[in-house]
Structure 1
C-alpha cells in the first residue's frame, strides 16, 4: 500500500507540473513570437518481485513480476513551429518567414536570440528591440550570385555564440539624421536616401542566426533564448540565405499556441491529477482499516 501512496504523490507532482506548462501556454496565447511547450511523462522505478526463468524440459518459462513507483516529468519541450503573420503596419516590425533568429546584445553585454521583431531606431540611430537591446548585423555578406554587400556600420559589439566561435557581428547603428526613407528590406539590408540627393545607400545588414537544433535553446524570458550545449554550430546570414527565412516588414510573428489543444490537455491533466488524489485517499482508508483491526 505504501508503494501506491508514493505512486499517487509522484503522479500528482507530475500532473501539477504539466498543468503549469499548460497555464504558461495559455497565458502566452497572444504573446508575439512565443513558442508553445509540452510536458511528457515517464515511469520512475520498478521493484522486481520475481525474475523471469527460462523454459526447460517439462518446465515452462516464467515472466518477471515488477511493481512500479509512479511517474515523473521526462521533458518539457519547446515546439518551434512557424506561426502566422500578424500585421502591425509599423515599418520596423519584422516577421521572419521561416527559420532563423535575430541576435541582440543588452546593456550588460549579454547576447540573446529572439524571433520577436518589434524594433525601433533610438535617438543615436541604433536599431534596438522593445527591451532596448541592440540588434546585431553583419559587416558584409556574399549573396547567391557572389556579390559582396558591405554594410557601413561602426563596430560596437563582439562576442561568442556559446560555442566559443567568434562572431563577425556588429551593433547596427546608422546616421538617421543624414538619411530619409530608411527601409528594412526582405534580405535584411537597411537602405536610406542620402539627404539632398536621390542616392539610395546601404546602411546596415541585419544578421539572421540559423540554429541547427532549436530545441536546445534555453528560454530566458522577455522573448529571449540563449545557446545551449546541444544547439550545434550557429551560423549567421542575410535573411533568405543559409536556410534562413526572408524578412517581412510591417508585422510580427503570432504565438503558435493551439488553444483547442491546450484546453483538451487541461481536461486530461485535471482528470489525471484527480485520479492520483483518489489513490492517496483510498490508500489512507486502507491504512485506517489496518489500524482499526486491533479494536
Structure 2
C-alpha cells in the first residue's frame, strides 16, 4: 500500500485532536480561572531508503541520505498558564491572584495534599467555613480550612490574604491568612475537572506541595485582589483562526487519501 495514504490518516487523526482541544477552549471561554490548551505536532520517524556516504579525500563527494516521512503524531498538548483578564464583581469573597500562585482547596480536613485552583469565587457555608461553589474547603497558609469566628460581624481580605475581622465588641483583629502555592512547572499539573488541578511529580520536585502566603516577594505567589475574578485566558480570535487552519489541514489530508486511492485504482486496472 502507498505510504502517503497512512500519512494522510495520521494527519487527519492529529487535526481531529486539535479540533477537540479548540472546541474545549471555546466552550470554556467564560469559565472563571480556565487555562487554554494547545496541540503541538511532531513528525514520525522517517524511512531511510539510502544512508549517508561521506566524501573520500578529494576524489569522491559525499551523498545525503534519502528519507521518506511516514506522517505526523501528537507531540504535546500544553496548558497555557498565562494570566486571564480581571473582572470586577465588588463581591468581597470573589478573589483574584495577581501573580503565579494557586489557591489551595480540600474535599475534607483530613485530605493531606490540597488541590489547586485559580477560580476564586468563594462562599461562606452554614458552618462559617470559606468554601468553593462545590463545597471544597479553602485552606490557609498552613494548609488548614478557613473558618470565620461567630463573634465576627464583618471582615475584609487584604492583598496578603489576611482576613481582617471586626468583632461584635467593635475591635478589629486578624484572623486566618488565605494560603497560596507556587508551582515550579504549572504545565505539569493534572486537570481533574471543576477548575481544579492535582500536583504531580513533574509539577514540583517529588510531587511536594508547600502552602505559603500571598503577596510575598520571596515566593513570588502574587497578591490577592478582593472583589475581582480572573477570567479565562482563551483568545477567541486566535481560536477561530486555529480552527480554520485545522479544518483546512484535515481537508488537505483527506485529499491525500483520495489521491492515493485513485493511484491504487489505476494499479488495479492495469490487469484487465
TM band (smaller chain)? over 0.9
The reply to whether residue 5 of structure 1 matches residue 5 of structure 2 is yes
The reply to whether residue 240 of structure 1 matches residue 215 of structure 2 is yes
Structure 1: state its 5+ residue gaps: 139-167
Q: Deviations over 1:8-33 (max 9, x none)?
A: 00000001101111111111111110
CA distance in 1: counterparts of 2:226 and 2:164, whole angstroms: 14
The reply to whether residue 18 of structure 1 matches residue 45 of structure 2 is no
1:199 Cα deviation (Å)?
Answer: 0.9
Asked if structure 1 preserves the Cα contact closer than 8 Å seen for 2:97 and 2:224, the reply is: yes
The reply to whether residue 133 of structure 1 matches residue 122 of structure 2 is no
CA distance in 1: counterparts of 2:164 and 2:135, whole angstroms: 22
The reply to whether residue 169 of structure 1 matches residue 143 of structure 2 is yes
1:111 Cα deviation (Å)?
Answer: 2.7
Which residue of the partner structure matches residue 119 of structure 1? 122
CA distance in 2: counterparts of 1:59 and 1:96, whole angstroms: 66
The reply to whether residue 183 of structure 1 matches residue 160 of structure 2 is no
CA distance in 2: counterparts of 1:243 and 1:267, whole angstroms: 38
1:187 Cα deviation (Å)?
Answer: 1.0
1:188 Cα deviation (Å)?
Answer: 0.5
Structure 2: state its 5+ residue gaps: none
Matches within 5 A, 1:15-94: 15-56=15-56, 57-94=58-95
Asked if structure 2 preserves the Cα contact closer than 8 Å seen for 1:211 and 1:235, the reply is: no
Q: From 260, 264, 271, give the equivalent of 1:283.
A: 260
Greater alpha carbon shift after TM alignment, 181-190 vs 266-275:
181-190
CA distance in 2: counterparts of 1:239 and 1:61, whole angstroms: 62
CA distance in 1: counterparts of 2:79 and 2:23, whole angstroms: 14
Which residue of the partner structure matches residue 196 of structure 2? 224
Instruction: Flag as ranges the 4+ runs of structure 1 deviating above 4 A.
Output: none
Local SS of the residue matching 1:13: helix
Local SS of the residue matching 2:33: coil
CA distance in 2: counterparts of 1:120 and 1:183, whole angstroms: 13
Asked if structure 2 preserves the Cα contact closer than 8 Å seen for 1:85 and 1:253, the reply is: yes
Which residue of the partner structure matches residue 187 of structure 2? 215
Q: Deviations over 1:226-248 (max 9, x none)?
A: 11111125443221012011111
Local SS of the residue matching 1:137: coil
Asked if structure 2 preserves the Cα contact closer than 8 Å seen for 1:95 and 1:247, the reply is: yes
Local SS of the residue matching 1:170: coil
1:58 Cα deviation (Å)?
Answer: 2.4
Local SS of the residue matching 2:26: helix
Q: From 236, 258, 279, give the equivalent of 2:235.
A: 258
1:174 Cα deviation (Å)?
Answer: 2.2
Provide the aligned length of Structure 1 versus Structure 2. Answer: 264
CA distance in 2: counterparts of 1:193 and 1:232, whole angstroms: 38
Greater alpha carbon shift after TM alignment, 102-111 vs 124-133:
102-111
CA distance in 2: counterparts of 1:103 and 1:279, whole angstroms: 49
TM-score (norm 2): 0.93
CA distance in 2: counterparts of 1:17 and 1:239, whole angstroms: 37
1:59 Cα deviation (Å)?
Answer: 1.7
Which residue of the partner structure matches residue 151 of structure 1? none
Which residue of the partner structure matches residue 156 of structure 1? none
Greater alpha carbon shift after TM alignment, 100-109 vs 206-215:
100-109
1:169 Cα deviation (Å)?
Answer: 1.7
Q: What is the aligned-residue RMSD (CA, Å)?
A: 1.4
